[in-house]
């Protein structure tokens, strides 16, 4: 039986570049090379594409790599290796874009993959763009009756009256991830600095009323008709807010958070979280995989926090932990994602 020729895309120009490299490294460890012929395609922070001979490490950009491009010509259905004024083609069966954040998870890469004609793992263009913008996510799920935080949008031509805000609030880029540019604001005097921090990552800023609740996550795998959910987790914070990807050595443990999997919540709440996560997933049109983060309030109700359409897959990430706790190791998750992408079934 021929091996599936899979391209693993990683890196990218967003602030989440290092997280993507770590995620791709973990995917590489869990790929069955008896099933897959693997092509590692790294995108540098400056936007150069390189085909690497090995799985990425911290110094992958200086390793054995060749210039490469993904052809938007669907008749090529793969890569163009560019060397010495010539090119050769590599046909791919499927692409796994292990990319996080801007230009990787926001629909841009998905658009290029649509042009290429190559099946790809994960959400499509429309859903990727929708979920990347938290305010649009809230608008859509809110119309389906799913609770969201109260929020205000701040754009370059639109401001907010600081005296009207119910402090504390969270100020965050509307279209970014991994808590980059996020601040907790307890007084109106702190607001200008928080807006400046958020605007380093996006011109559109979201201000959210703080929700007094536990932070709960749910890993979802599949398409709209057939879904698998992982064990629910709870983020236990000692102080501050969850921002593990910005810490210096998250592999050895977080500075302010621990993950409880399965979450130490009642069975009824667990079921509500999982059913709400599936409803959010279907409402937004997700496919492949996503992590749905929710707030569980003391009264037992849930409020949407955010949706990650390509969640972290690092050794310390939440999505693979939740799936592993449900009996699906990352190797099997990858197999199911590839099968779903290529055949429309989870395998």
Residues marked as catalytic:
19, 22, 100, 245, 251, 291, 312, 316
d(CA 225, CA 115): 26
For residue 164, the 8-state DSSP code is G
3-state SS class at 149? coil
Q: How far apart are CA 273 and CA 271, in angstroms?
A: 5
64 secondary structure, DSSP code: S
The interaxial angle of helices 330-343 and 17-29, nearest 10 deg, is 100
Cα torsion for 268, 337, 313, 95, to the nearest 10°? -150
Residue located via tokens 């490299």: 21
The CB density around residue 2, as the number of other CB atoms within 10 Å, is: 6
Partners of 220 in beta bridges: 229, 290
């Amino acid at each position: 039986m021929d091996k599936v020729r899979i391209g693993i895309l990683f890196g990218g120009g967003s602030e989440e570049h290092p997280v993507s490299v770590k995620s791709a490294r973990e995917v590489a460890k869990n790929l069955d090379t008896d099933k897959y012929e693997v092509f590692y395609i790294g995108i540098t922070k400056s936007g150069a594409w390189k085909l690497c001979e090995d799985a990425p490490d911290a110094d992958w950009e200086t390793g054995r790599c060749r210039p490469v491009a993904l052809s938007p010509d669907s008749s090529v259905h793969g890569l163009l290796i560019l060397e010495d004024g010539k090119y050769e083609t590599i046909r791919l069966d499927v692409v796994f874009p292990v990319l996080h954040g801007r230009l990787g998870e926001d629909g841009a890469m998905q658009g290029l993959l649509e042009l290429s004609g190559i099946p790809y793992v994960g959400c499509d263009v429309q859903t990727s763009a929708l979920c990347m913008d938290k305010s649009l996510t809230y608008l859509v799920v809110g119309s389906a009756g799913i609770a969201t935080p109260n929020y205000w949008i701040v754009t370059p031509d639109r401001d907010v009256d600081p005296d009207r805000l119910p402090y504390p609030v969270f100020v965050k880029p509307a279209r970014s991830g991994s808590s980059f540019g996020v601040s907790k604001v307890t007084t109106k005097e702190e607001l200008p600095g928080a807006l400046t921090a958020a605007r380093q990552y996006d011109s559109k800023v979201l201000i959210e009323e703080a929700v007094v609740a536990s932070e709960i996550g749910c890993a979802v795998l599949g398409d709209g008709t057939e879904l698998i959910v992982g064990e629910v987790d709870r983020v236990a914070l000692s102080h501050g807010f969850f921002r593990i990807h910005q810490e210096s050595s998250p592999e050895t443990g977080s500075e302010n958070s621990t993950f409880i999997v399965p979450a130490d919540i009642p069975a009824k709440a667990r079921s509500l979280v999982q059913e709400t996560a599936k409803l959010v997933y279907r409402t937004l049109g997700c496919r492949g995989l996503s992590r749905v983060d929710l707030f569980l309030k003391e009264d037992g109700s849930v409020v949407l926090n955010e949706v990650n359409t390509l969640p972290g897959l690092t050794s310390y990430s939440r999505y693979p932990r939740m799936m592993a706790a449900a009996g699906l190791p990352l190797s099997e998750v990858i197999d199911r994602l590839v099968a779903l992408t290529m055949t429309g079934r989870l395998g």
